Structure 1
Amino acid sequence: MHGNDAQMLVLTALAGGPLHGYAINTAIEVLTGTRLGPGSLYGALARLEARQLVEPAAGRSDAQDRHRTVRITAAGREALRVELEQLARVAQAGLRALGVAPA
């Protein structure tokens, strides 16, 4: 999975509320049918936190603590919204091209 895809999945999981790593991966599994590997999940979380799109929910900042709870920030919500709207446009265009969606 591409790094940006993993980041979008993490943001999507966090849009419903703060979660810790295992719960994020469980939410992703429910959504996609697959789990992210630990490197993909925690790499995505580190990149999202560096971009200030997620933050520790309980004031803890130990990046090595896999049980820490994180939450999406306002900037993260906006980034996710923009990405999802773009994906929706692409999906609609693809479905129209396949003759599955109305023109």
Structure 2
Amino acid sequence: MPRGTSEVSEPMYFVLTALLDGPMHGHAIMKEIGDLSAGRVKPSVGTLYGILERLSDRGVIMVDREEIVNGRSRRYFRITAEGHALVEAEAKRMHEAASLVMRRSLGTSSA
């Protein structure tokens, strides 16, 4: 099992999920997080870049490339194989936890 599955915050989970579609730059990641969470998760720019730095330090994302757009550097990030394993393990963990609650809720509501 990948290390750190219990250490994946909700915004981290959405960053990793966004990057499953391919490399993205920070602004695109923020937009995708908003779309994926139906607007519920909205990290500030500073929070997002802190998350990106922590995920990079853990080796679950990496810089894919950099380009200059309108005189500013734009950094694209991509998920690594370890990142894929981490987000999949976290999704499985959440699914199992949700299934447990649903089974118990359905079982007690019919009694």
TM-score, length-scaled by structure 1: 0.81
Taking every aligned residue pair, what percent have the same amino acid on both sides? 32
Return the match for 2:35 from 30, 33, 55. Answer: 30
Question: Which amino acid letter does the alignment assign opposite residue 77 of structure 1?
Answer: H
2:81 aligned to which of 74, 87, 97: 74
Q: Is 1:12 aligned with 2:12?
A: no
Shift in CA distance, 89/53, structure 1 to aligned 2, threshold 3 Å: same
Q: Which has the higher strand share?
A: 2
Runs of at least 4 residues off by over 3 Å: none
Unaligned runs of 5+ in 2: 1-6
Instruction: Please identify, of 4-13 and 34-43, the stretch whose mean Cα deviation from structure 2 is larger.
Output: 34-43
Compare CA radii of gyration and give the structure with the larger one: 2
Pairing 1:60-99 to 2, within 5 Å after superposition: 67-99=74-106
Take 1:66 and 1:48, find their aligned partners in 2: how far apart are those partners? 20
Q: What is the TM-score with the length of structure 2 in the denominator?
A: 0.76
Q: Are the aligned partners of 1:11 and 1:76 in contact in 2 as well (CA < 8 Å)?
A: yes
Q: Which runs of 5+ in 1 are unaligned?
A: none
Alignment partners' CA distance in 2, 1:13 and 1:66:
21
Deviations 1:45-83 (A, max 9, x none): 0000000100011168xxxx8721000000100111111
Residue 54 of structure 1 aligns with an amino acid whose one-letter code is: I
Equivalents in 2 of 1:53, 1:10: separation in Å? Answer: 11
Count of equivalent residues: 95
- Say if 1:3 and 1:40, in contact at 8 Å, map to a contact too: no
Task: Please report the RMSD computed on the Cα atoms of aligned residues, expressed in angstroms.
Answer: 2.3
